Amino acid sequence: MRGLVAKTVKAAIPMGRHAIDASWRPPAMAQAWQAPAPLEGIRFAAANRLCVNLYYQNKYRLIEAYSLRRTQEGNILLYALRHETNEWRAYRVDRIQGIEITETPFVPKHEVELTPAGPLSIPSLTRRSGGYDDFRPSIHRSISKKQSFGPTYVIECPYCSKKFNRKKNNTRLNPHKDKSGYPCSGRNGYLVDTKY
């Protein structure tokens, strides 16, 4: 089996009934567009191959985030796979009510286009007879309006006194370093503040 190279099949993302704007590309950082959704968190999860618990239209969905597109009507869509069913879904960014980055990893079934650094090439779509879409490069545009979702909980480590902001009221701490840069053994913190 010498010389055998395993190739990952990256199927095209099916865009369904949406007509996509071929001239749009998001900036490298979502804060630049002041988007009304926590897109930096979604990009972080996608880059680290972690599932996102998406709060969308009053329901939670566990998703694998892959791509952003803009429709010809101007709506920004997040394309993702439902983790449990492997079904492609498009979520309008303006209808995302909140997110939680989980510790559930996923193996990409398509190229993850949401990366935390560098310019993104957001491809346009063309229909093929097989029902899937081809990708072509598109152009940059920005959006306005920034919004925060829900309270922020401030958790403090009892060992190193370092403070962490959380969107969920969970006092479990990830491995971290103290203020001097050395590994801290604290894994359970305590709530010191809630910011609204």
pLDDT in tens, 2-51: 444 334 445 556 556 666 655 555 555 554 455 555 788 888 888 889 99
Q: Which residues contact 92 (CB under 8 A, 6 or more apart)?
A: 75, 76, 77, 78
pLDDT mean across residues, the chain? 74
Surface-to-core class of residue 194, CB atoms within 10 Å of its CB (0-12 exposed, 13-18 middle, 19+ buried): exposed
pTM: 0.48
The pLDDT value recorded for residue 72 is: 83
What residues does each domain of the chain span?
30-136, 152-195
Most confident segment among 76-90, 103-117, 140-154:
76-90
Asked if residue 62 lies in contact with residue 82, where contact means CB atoms within 8 angstroms, the answer is yes
The pLDDT value recorded for residue 52 is: 94
